[in-house]
A and B are shown apart, each in its own frame.
Chain A
Amino acid sequence: MRRRSVVLAAGLALLLAVPPLAAIAGEPFAVTLASRVLIYALAAASLDFIVGYGGMVSFGHAAFLGLGAYTVGIVASHAFDGTAVPLLPFAWHGTDSALIQWPLAMLISALFALVIGALSLRTAGVYFIMITLAFAQMLYHLFLTLPTYGGQDGLNLWRRSEIPGLDLADDVSFYYLTLALLIISLLILKRLVHSRFGMVLRAGKQNEPRLQALGIPTVRYKLLAFVIAGAFGGLAGALTVNHTEFVGPGLLHWTRSGELLVIVILGGLGSLYGSVVGAAVLLILEEVIAGWTEHWMIVLGPFLVLVVLFARRGLYGWLAGREAEGD
């Protein structure tokens, strides 16, 4: 376990050191970029949970990111205007409290994941990819044409969520909170992967007909995994709207889902930690290369091909060596 432990410890130390290093270097923007990396890592890790362990290649994961972000955005906008949230049986004027907003974001994303998953899991393979993509695009167009909540202009978040004892308007506090949530989420997902539930999930990826022949109703397990992934995607959405103080339909666009898949593949399928590496490399490369040329995809594309060809278990697998397989 040594090499893997060293890699994980070094990664954690590096993430903890970002704000002080940025302060020393006089580059406060680095903290903002690093927060973005962590949020994308969380979204990608939740996607990796179903793709890497469950074999469900979802091309619509941005939907859950967007739903989580819109949930927080909408609830906060009603709190700001003092108006009631529509479609509720009781009058509720929204809230700024993260302790309500964020679990609500997870719940809404999970509910949509339940419906989307229940319908999509009747299919497999390329059909599953297409149908999850279709659902995500439906939601994208829904928010695009919903004038109440900004339509194509999106929604501004006038006040970041509030947590007692923390000032989330401070970028460093926000960064550390995001880091803590990412670590907790990774540990929870990791536990799930190695539990009996996770064992069934991983077996289903390898040989689903055989699992059914053993007497296991595989669809229920896959659906539950899909819902869990949706919930964590929703949490990433709640963080993202706080980070950018804005949510627009672009967050649900299929290119965003594609980006998440790229992060997962880049970092290493079925590793969870790989999502952090993948998000860091993709977003930092994007930032750096975009400074030279707007055609940054020209550089990124071949890089991705090289990773897929030569580091078949992704960048994390390449860093952590064979021991990463136990993840």
Chain B
Amino acid sequence: MTDAILEVQGLSKFFGAVAASDSLTFQVERGCCHALIGPNGAGKSTAIAQITGEVRPDGGSIRFNGREISRWPVHRRARAGLNRSYQITSIFPAFSALDTVALAVLARQPHAFRFWRDARRDERLRRSARSFLDRVGLGDRADVRAGDLAHGEQRQLEVAMVLATNPQLVLLDEPMAGMGRAETQQMLDILRPLKGSLSLLLVEHDMDVVFALADVVTVLVKGRVIASGTPSSIRADADVRRAYLGDGA
């Protein structure tokens, strides 16, 4: 028996007649980076949203650490250690970068029903938040409003938020979306050391990124798995080349 942190079994989701997930089955091994790739509309983001609980599947099961979670609300899954970053940057624009991460730090505590002490002067909270900002290279941008950060910095902030929730499995929905070469490289340097200590499920269009990070690649087309294997076997797979990688690959 392998050690899977996430097992997706027969997951189905239909929007009218369109299958976003069609008996989708795959598993993520603990400590690995598993990439989901596929053409636009293959159902990658919908798969992520079902795993986090934002979209309710029509059928199938999702097991996280051996427990069936497909009926859990979003916040309960997050607390159990399953967290995500968003393809379209999703932050709290009016908060400073530090406050944004502090929010994620307090999300992992039993509750934030503390009414009196000023959270801005809460040293434990701030120190912890600062360490995560340092990890993604935003240490010197702590007091900048999140909405005023550059696009690439906001993506880094997203990663800092996710890490601050102390996750076991991180779902990365196109972490490199809209980034230039240098920023992509910087993000790779942030993500690469995470492997091992936590597990990653990566959705990404940039094949260089996928092949640089992933241990296992699963290819989706129209909500179905058409191939799954090591990056090199996927690169060699004729079906995948035809269905997706196309001429350039």
Contact = CB atoms under 8 A, between A and B. Distances in A.
A89 interface: no
Interface string B46-83: 00000010100000000000000000011110110001
Interface stretch (B9-17, B112-120, B208-216, B236-244): B112-120
B18 interface: no
B117 A213 contact: no
A214 B99 contact: no
Interface stretch (A14-22, A27-35, A190-198, A276-284): A190-198
A215 B165 contact: yes
Contact of B84 (A197, A213, A216, A218): A213
B119 A198 contact: yes
Contacts of A194: 118-120
Contact of A221 (B90, B94, B112, B117): B112
Contacts of B76: 215, 217
Interface stretch (B35-43, B103-111, B174-182): B103-111
Interface residues of B, number: 37
Given A199-B102, A207-B91, A217 B115 contact: no
A203 interface: yes
Interface of B: 52, 54, 73-76, 78-79, 83-84, 86, 90-95, 99, 102-104, 106-108, 112-120, 122, 125, 161, 165
List the 8 closest A-B pairs by CB distance, nearest first. A215-B78, A214-B107, A196-B112, A215-B79, A196-B114, A212-B74, A215-B107, A206-B92
A200 interface: yes
A195 B104 CA distance: 15
Contacts, number: 97
Contact of A195 (B78, B92, B117, B161): B117
A5 B224 CA distance: 62
Contacts of A200: 103, 106, 112
Given A214-B78, A214-B165, A215-B75, A209 B54 contact: yes
A210 B99 contact: no
In terms of DSSP, what is the predominant structure of the interface of chain A?
Answer: helix
Given A196-B112, A207-B90, A215-B75, 4 more contacts: A195-B118, A203-B95, A207-B93, A216-B107
Nearest to A325: B94
A213 B78 CA distance: 6
9 contacts: A191-B116, A194-B120, A196-B113, A203-B103, A206-B95, A207-B93, A214-B161, A215-B78, A215-B108
